[in-house]
Amino acid sequence: MITTAAYATVSALLPLAPHTIERRDPGPYEVLIDILYCGVCHSDIHQVRNQWGGSIYPMVPGHEIVGKIVKRGEDVIKWKIGDIVGVGYFIDSCHECDACADGEEQYCEKGMNTTFNGHERDGKTPTYGGYSTRITVNEDYVLRIPEGLPLERVAPLMCAGITVYSPLHRFGIKTNDNIAVVGLGGLGHMGVKIAGAMGAKVTVISHSPDKRADALALGAADFIATSEKDAFKVNAKRFDFILDTVSAKHDYNAYLSMLRRDGTMMLVGIPDPVLLSASSLVMQRLKLAGSLIGGIRETQEMLDFCAEHRVAADVEVIPIQKINEAYERILKSDVHYRFVIDMASLKDE
Protein backbone atom coordinates (compact mmCIF):
# COMPACT_ATOMS: atom_id res chain seq x y z
CA MET A 1 0.00 0.00 0.00
CA ILE A 2 1.10 3.58 -0.69
CA THR A 3 0.58 6.23 1.99
CA THR A 4 -0.98 9.23 0.25
CA ALA A 5 -1.58 12.81 1.38
CA ALA A 6 -5.12 14.09 0.89
CA TYR A 7 -7.74 16.56 2.06
CA ALA A 8 -10.85 14.99 3.57
CA THR A 9 -13.72 15.50 5.91
CA VAL A 10 -14.94 13.02 8.48
CA SER A 11 -18.37 14.61 8.92
CA ALA A 12 -20.89 16.70 7.00
CA LEU A 13 -20.49 19.35 9.70
CA LEU A 14 -16.70 19.69 9.52
CA PRO A 15 -14.46 21.43 6.97
CA LEU A 16 -11.98 19.65 4.74
CA ALA A 17 -8.59 19.19 6.40
CA PRO A 18 -5.29 17.33 5.85
CA HIS A 19 -5.75 13.58 5.91
CA THR A 20 -3.83 10.44 5.00
CA ILE A 21 -5.22 7.60 2.88
CA GLU A 22 -3.82 4.38 1.46
CA ARG A 23 -3.59 3.76 -2.27
CA ARG A 24 -2.75 0.30 -3.54
CA ASP A 25 0.17 -0.52 -5.78
CA PRO A 26 -1.11 -1.02 -9.35
CA GLY A 27 -2.50 -4.44 -10.11
CA PRO A 28 -1.75 -6.13 -13.47
CA TYR A 29 -4.15 -3.87 -15.41
CA GLU A 30 -3.86 -0.69 -13.32
CA VAL A 31 -1.81 2.50 -13.38
CA LEU A 32 -0.65 4.78 -10.57
CA ILE A 33 -1.16 8.47 -11.33
CA ASP A 34 0.52 11.42 -9.63
CA ILE A 35 -2.23 14.04 -9.56
CA LEU A 36 -1.25 17.47 -10.89
CA TYR A 37 -4.60 19.27 -10.90
CA CYS A 38 -8.11 18.56 -9.65
CA GLY A 39 -11.17 20.61 -10.52
CA VAL A 40 -13.78 21.55 -7.93
CA CYS A 41 -17.35 20.64 -8.90
CA HIS A 42 -20.46 21.89 -7.12
CA SER A 43 -21.41 18.25 -6.62
CA ASP A 44 -18.31 17.93 -4.40
CA ILE A 45 -20.02 20.29 -1.96
CA HIS A 46 -23.33 18.42 -2.12
CA GLN A 47 -21.62 15.17 -1.21
CA VAL A 48 -19.19 16.55 1.36
CA ARG A 49 -22.15 18.09 3.20
CA ASN A 50 -24.41 15.06 2.69
CA GLN A 51 -27.01 17.15 0.88
CA TRP A 52 -27.94 14.22 -1.35
CA GLY A 53 -27.84 11.69 1.48
CA GLY A 54 -25.77 8.53 1.77
CA SER A 55 -22.37 10.21 2.05
CA ILE A 56 -19.48 7.98 3.11
CA TYR A 57 -16.87 9.29 5.56
CA PRO A 58 -14.03 9.96 5.67
CA MET A 59 -14.54 11.52 2.24
CA VAL A 60 -11.84 12.70 -0.17
CA PRO A 61 -13.72 14.57 -2.94
CA GLY A 62 -12.67 15.30 -6.51
CA HIS A 63 -13.48 13.79 -9.92
CA GLU A 64 -11.87 16.21 -12.38
CA ILE A 65 -8.35 14.81 -12.31
CA VAL A 66 -5.31 15.43 -14.51
CA GLY A 67 -2.00 13.77 -13.69
CA LYS A 68 1.03 11.80 -14.82
CA ILE A 69 1.40 8.02 -14.87
CA VAL A 70 4.31 7.05 -12.62
CA LYS A 71 3.82 3.31 -12.33
CA ARG A 72 1.91 0.65 -14.26
CA GLY A 73 0.91 -2.97 -13.84
CA GLU A 74 2.73 -5.69 -15.72
CA ASP A 75 -0.11 -6.30 -18.20
CA VAL A 76 -0.94 -2.66 -19.00
CA ILE A 77 -0.73 -2.07 -22.74
CA LYS A 78 -2.52 1.26 -23.26
CA TRP A 79 -0.22 3.52 -21.24
CA LYS A 80 3.43 4.17 -20.54
CA ILE A 81 5.26 5.91 -17.70
CA GLY A 82 5.11 9.67 -18.10
CA ASP A 83 1.82 9.81 -20.02
CA ILE A 84 -0.40 12.77 -19.07
CA VAL A 85 -3.88 11.43 -18.42
CA GLY A 86 -7.24 12.25 -16.92
CA VAL A 87 -9.76 10.57 -14.63
CA GLY A 88 -13.38 11.63 -14.51
CA TYR A 89 -16.55 10.91 -12.58
CA PHE A 90 -16.11 7.11 -12.38
CA ILE A 91 -13.21 4.69 -12.11
CA ASP A 92 -14.87 1.36 -12.92
CA SER A 93 -18.06 -0.42 -13.93
CA CYS A 94 -19.17 -4.01 -14.46
CA HIS A 95 -17.59 -4.39 -17.95
CA GLU A 96 -20.36 -6.85 -18.87
CA CYS A 97 -23.79 -5.21 -19.26
CA ASP A 98 -25.20 -3.74 -22.47
CA ALA A 99 -24.37 -0.20 -21.37
CA CYS A 100 -20.72 -1.04 -20.73
CA ALA A 101 -20.51 -2.97 -24.01
CA ASP A 102 -21.84 0.12 -25.79
CA GLY A 103 -19.23 2.38 -24.18
CA GLU A 104 -21.87 3.98 -21.96
CA GLU A 105 -20.31 3.03 -18.64
CA GLN A 106 -22.02 5.92 -16.85
CA TYR A 107 -25.29 4.00 -17.30
CA CYS A 108 -23.84 0.66 -16.12
CA GLU A 109 -26.79 -1.58 -15.27
CA LYS A 110 -25.02 -2.82 -12.15
CA GLY A 111 -23.91 0.67 -11.17
CA MET A 112 -20.77 2.58 -12.09
CA ASN A 113 -18.10 3.02 -9.43
CA THR A 114 -17.75 6.71 -8.71
CA THR A 115 -14.31 8.22 -8.25
CA PHE A 116 -15.18 9.22 -4.70
CA ASN A 117 -17.99 8.70 -2.19
CA GLY A 118 -18.58 5.21 -3.51
CA HIS A 119 -17.17 1.70 -3.42
CA GLU A 120 -15.06 -0.40 -5.71
CA ARG A 121 -16.46 -3.52 -7.40
CA ASP A 122 -16.14 -5.52 -4.20
CA GLY A 123 -18.83 -3.31 -2.67
CA LYS A 124 -16.67 -2.74 0.41
CA THR A 125 -13.55 -0.74 -0.44
CA PRO A 126 -14.34 3.00 -0.37
CA THR A 127 -13.26 5.20 -3.26
CA TYR A 128 -11.27 8.35 -2.58
CA GLY A 129 -11.07 11.18 -5.09
CA GLY A 130 -8.70 13.72 -6.52
CA TYR A 131 -8.07 15.99 -3.54
CA SER A 132 -5.02 13.80 -3.03
CA THR A 133 -1.53 13.39 -4.44
CA ARG A 134 -2.09 10.11 -6.31
CA ILE A 135 -4.69 7.62 -7.44
CA THR A 136 -4.67 4.03 -8.75
CA VAL A 137 -7.06 3.28 -11.64
CA ASN A 138 -7.84 0.48 -14.10
CA GLU A 139 -6.23 1.32 -17.45
CA ASP A 140 -9.58 1.18 -19.28
CA TYR A 141 -10.94 4.10 -17.25
CA VAL A 142 -8.07 6.50 -17.91
CA LEU A 143 -8.21 9.23 -20.56
CA ARG A 144 -5.48 10.58 -22.81
CA ILE A 145 -4.93 14.33 -22.48
CA PRO A 146 -4.15 15.83 -25.92
CA GLU A 147 -1.23 18.22 -26.21
CA GLY A 148 -1.75 21.93 -26.59
CA LEU A 149 -4.14 22.85 -23.78
CA PRO A 150 -3.07 24.11 -20.32
CA LEU A 151 -3.52 21.19 -17.94
CA GLU A 152 -5.19 23.25 -15.23
CA ARG A 153 -7.85 24.29 -17.77
CA VAL A 154 -8.33 20.71 -18.93
CA ALA A 155 -9.21 19.32 -15.50
CA PRO A 156 -12.84 20.60 -15.50
CA LEU A 157 -13.40 18.98 -18.89
CA MET A 158 -13.43 15.63 -17.06
CA CYS A 159 -16.88 16.53 -15.68
CA ALA A 160 -18.21 19.91 -16.85
CA GLY A 161 -16.88 19.46 -20.37
CA ILE A 162 -18.30 16.01 -21.02
CA THR A 163 -21.58 16.82 -19.25
CA VAL A 164 -22.40 19.45 -21.88
CA TYR A 165 -20.61 17.87 -24.85
CA SER A 166 -22.49 14.58 -24.67
CA PRO A 167 -26.03 15.94 -25.22
CA LEU A 168 -24.89 18.54 -27.76
CA HIS A 169 -23.11 15.84 -29.74
CA ARG A 170 -25.80 13.19 -29.46
CA PHE A 171 -28.55 15.56 -30.57
CA GLY A 172 -26.48 16.59 -33.57
CA ILE A 173 -25.96 20.28 -32.88
CA LYS A 174 -24.52 21.77 -36.06
CA THR A 175 -23.68 24.98 -37.87
CA ASN A 176 -26.35 27.69 -37.61
CA ASP A 177 -28.56 25.79 -35.17
CA ASN A 178 -30.23 28.32 -32.90
CA ILE A 179 -29.65 27.08 -29.35
CA ALA A 180 -29.88 28.48 -25.84
CA VAL A 181 -27.81 27.70 -22.77
CA VAL A 182 -29.62 28.26 -19.48
CA GLY A 183 -27.25 29.32 -16.70
CA LEU A 184 -23.73 30.69 -16.94
CA GLY A 185 -21.73 28.81 -14.34
CA GLY A 186 -19.23 25.97 -14.49
CA LEU A 187 -21.45 23.92 -16.83
CA GLY A 188 -23.03 26.80 -18.72
CA HIS A 189 -19.80 28.50 -19.75
CA MET A 190 -18.56 25.20 -21.21
CA GLY A 191 -21.88 24.80 -23.01
CA VAL A 192 -21.41 28.17 -24.68
CA LYS A 193 -17.86 27.33 -25.75
CA ILE A 194 -18.52 23.81 -27.03
CA ALA A 195 -21.78 24.64 -28.83
CA GLY A 196 -20.04 27.61 -30.41
CA ALA A 197 -17.19 25.37 -31.57
CA MET A 198 -19.82 23.12 -33.19
CA GLY A 199 -20.99 26.13 -35.20
CA ALA A 200 -24.24 26.84 -33.38
CA LYS A 201 -25.62 30.31 -32.79
CA VAL A 202 -25.73 30.45 -28.98
CA THR A 203 -27.90 32.57 -26.70
CA VAL A 204 -27.32 32.58 -22.95
CA ILE A 205 -30.41 32.69 -20.73
CA SER A 206 -29.86 33.87 -17.17
CA HIS A 207 -31.89 35.39 -14.37
CA SER A 208 -29.15 37.97 -13.82
CA PRO A 209 -28.72 40.79 -16.38
CA ASP A 210 -25.24 41.35 -14.92
CA LYS A 211 -24.00 38.28 -16.81
CA ARG A 212 -24.63 39.75 -20.26
CA ALA A 213 -21.08 41.01 -20.81
CA ASP A 214 -19.54 37.73 -19.67
CA ALA A 215 -21.83 35.72 -21.95
CA LEU A 216 -20.91 37.76 -25.00
CA ALA A 217 -17.21 37.62 -24.10
CA LEU A 218 -17.43 33.81 -24.05
CA GLY A 219 -18.78 33.81 -27.59
CA ALA A 220 -22.55 33.95 -27.17
CA ALA A 221 -24.38 35.77 -29.95
CA ASP A 222 -27.16 37.00 -27.67
CA PHE A 223 -28.30 37.15 -24.07
CA ILE A 224 -31.72 36.96 -22.41
CA ALA A 225 -32.30 38.08 -18.82
CA THR A 226 -35.40 36.26 -17.59
CA SER A 227 -35.84 38.85 -14.86
CA GLU A 228 -36.77 41.40 -17.52
CA LYS A 229 -40.43 41.99 -18.36
CA ASP A 230 -41.96 39.69 -20.99
CA ALA A 231 -38.65 37.87 -21.57
CA PHE A 232 -40.37 34.54 -22.20
CA LYS A 233 -43.16 36.05 -24.30
CA VAL A 234 -40.80 38.01 -26.55
CA ASN A 235 -38.61 34.93 -27.15
CA ALA A 236 -41.39 32.37 -27.62
CA LYS A 237 -40.71 29.61 -30.20
CA ARG A 238 -37.21 30.94 -30.87
CA PHE A 239 -34.82 28.02 -30.29
CA ASP A 240 -34.18 24.59 -31.79
CA PHE A 241 -32.49 23.27 -28.65
CA ILE A 242 -32.13 24.41 -25.04
CA LEU A 243 -29.32 23.13 -22.81
CA ASP A 244 -30.49 23.64 -19.23
CA THR A 245 -27.54 23.59 -16.81
CA VAL A 246 -29.33 25.02 -13.76
CA SER A 247 -29.63 22.98 -10.57
CA ALA A 248 -31.76 25.53 -8.70
CA LYS A 249 -35.52 25.04 -8.89
CA HIS A 250 -37.07 26.76 -11.93
CA ASP A 251 -40.14 26.50 -14.14
CA TYR A 252 -39.50 24.09 -17.03
CA ASN A 253 -42.78 25.10 -18.66
CA ALA A 254 -41.60 28.69 -19.15
CA TYR A 255 -38.39 27.62 -20.86
CA LEU A 256 -40.17 25.05 -23.04
CA SER A 257 -42.24 27.91 -24.44
CA MET A 258 -39.04 29.22 -26.05
CA LEU A 259 -38.68 26.11 -28.24
CA ARG A 260 -39.78 25.82 -31.83
CA ARG A 261 -41.95 22.92 -32.96
CA ASP A 262 -40.08 19.61 -32.51
CA GLY A 263 -37.46 21.30 -30.33
CA THR A 264 -35.62 19.67 -27.45
CA MET A 265 -34.82 20.87 -23.95
CA MET A 266 -31.98 18.92 -22.35
CA LEU A 267 -31.49 18.81 -18.58
CA VAL A 268 -27.98 18.35 -17.19
CA GLY A 269 -28.67 19.95 -13.80
CA ILE A 270 -30.71 18.20 -11.12
CA PRO A 271 -32.96 20.71 -9.33
CA ASP A 272 -35.69 19.92 -6.83
CA PRO A 273 -38.84 18.46 -8.46
CA VAL A 274 -41.02 20.85 -10.45
CA LEU A 275 -44.52 20.55 -11.88
CA LEU A 276 -44.48 19.87 -15.63
CA SER A 277 -47.58 20.53 -17.72
CA ALA A 278 -48.18 17.96 -20.46
CA SER A 279 -49.48 20.73 -22.70
CA SER A 280 -46.02 22.34 -22.63
CA LEU A 281 -44.80 19.33 -24.64
CA VAL A 282 -47.89 18.25 -26.55
CA MET A 283 -48.81 21.52 -28.24
CA GLN A 284 -45.50 21.82 -30.13
CA ARG A 285 -44.37 18.16 -30.15
CA LEU A 286 -41.45 19.03 -27.89
CA LYS A 287 -38.97 16.76 -26.14
CA LEU A 288 -37.73 17.11 -22.57
CA ALA A 289 -34.71 14.89 -21.95
CA GLY A 290 -31.82 14.40 -19.55
CA SER A 291 -28.18 13.42 -19.83
CA LEU A 292 -25.52 12.18 -17.39
CA ILE A 293 -21.82 12.89 -18.11
CA GLY A 294 -20.48 10.49 -20.80
CA GLY A 295 -18.73 7.18 -21.24
CA ILE A 296 -14.99 6.73 -21.62
CA ARG A 297 -15.07 6.65 -25.43
CA GLU A 298 -17.18 9.79 -25.69
CA THR A 299 -15.13 11.62 -23.06
CA GLN A 300 -11.99 10.93 -25.08
CA GLU A 301 -13.79 12.21 -28.15
CA MET A 302 -14.69 15.38 -26.23
CA LEU A 303 -11.08 15.94 -25.16
CA ASP A 304 -9.87 15.56 -28.75
CA PHE A 305 -12.61 17.94 -29.96
CA CYS A 306 -11.63 20.54 -27.37
CA ALA A 307 -7.96 20.27 -28.31
CA GLU A 308 -8.79 20.66 -32.00
CA HIS A 309 -10.94 23.74 -31.37
CA ARG A 310 -8.80 25.20 -28.57
CA VAL A 311 -11.62 24.97 -26.05
CA ALA A 312 -10.87 24.81 -22.32
CA ALA A 313 -12.45 25.88 -19.05
CA ASP A 314 -12.00 29.32 -17.55
CA VAL A 315 -10.49 28.63 -14.15
CA GLU A 316 -9.10 30.10 -10.97
CA VAL A 317 -6.21 27.98 -9.69
CA ILE A 318 -5.98 27.65 -5.90
CA PRO A 319 -3.82 25.81 -3.38
CA ILE A 320 -5.56 23.01 -1.52
CA GLN A 321 -5.35 25.06 1.68
CA LYS A 322 -8.03 27.41 0.26
CA ILE A 323 -10.55 24.70 -0.55
CA ASN A 324 -13.02 25.55 2.23
CA GLU A 325 -12.95 29.21 1.21
CA ALA A 326 -13.52 28.12 -2.40
CA TYR A 327 -16.63 26.15 -1.38
CA GLU A 328 -18.14 29.25 0.21
CA ARG A 329 -17.33 31.31 -2.88
CA ILE A 330 -18.97 28.71 -5.13
CA LEU A 331 -22.14 28.98 -3.06
CA LYS A 332 -22.05 32.74 -3.65
CA SER A 333 -21.39 32.27 -7.40
CA ASP A 334 -18.08 34.05 -6.87
CA VAL A 335 -15.97 32.17 -9.41
CA HIS A 336 -15.38 32.50 -13.16
CA TYR A 337 -16.05 29.69 -13.76
CA ARG A 338 -14.31 26.76 -12.10
CA PHE A 339 -11.86 26.40 -9.24
CA VAL A 340 -8.95 24.06 -9.91
CA ILE A 341 -6.60 22.83 -7.19
CA ASP A 342 -2.87 22.81 -7.88
CA MET A 343 -1.99 19.60 -6.10
CA ALA A 344 1.66 20.65 -5.74
CA SER A 345 0.39 22.70 -2.81
CA LEU A 346 -0.47 19.48 -0.95
CA LYS A 347 2.86 17.88 -1.70
CA ASP A 348 4.55 20.93 -0.23
CA GLU A 349 2.60 20.77 3.07
Q: What is the pLDDT of residues 131-148, one digit of tens each?
A: 999 999 999 999 999 999
Q: What's the CATH code, domain 2-159+294-347?
A: 3.90.180.10
Alpha-carbon distance of 343 to 129, in angstroms, equals 12
Q: Is 174 exposed, middle or buried (CB count within 10 Å of its CB: 0-12, 13-18, 19+)?
A: exposed
Q: Angle formed by the axes of helices 160-170 and 186-197, to 10°? A: 40
**Residues 204 and 184: beta-carbon distance below 8 Å:** yes
Residue 348 confidence (pLDDT): 61
Average pLDDT over residues 223-238: 96
CATH architecture of 163-290: 3-Layer(aba) Sandwich (3.40)
Asked whether the whole model's pTM tops 0.85, one would answer yes
Domains 2-159+294-347 and 163-290 share a fold: no
Average pLDDT over residues 160-174: 96
Confidence of residue 272 (pLDDT cuts 50, 70, 90): confident
**DSSP conformational letter for 25:** P
Instruction: Give 116's contacts (C-beta < 8 A, 6+ positions apart).
Output: 47, 59, 60, 61, 62, 63, 127, 128, 129, 130
Residue 349 confidence (pLDDT): 58
Alpha-carbon distance of 154 to 97, in angstroms, equals 30
| Domain edges within the chain | 2-159+294-347, 163-290
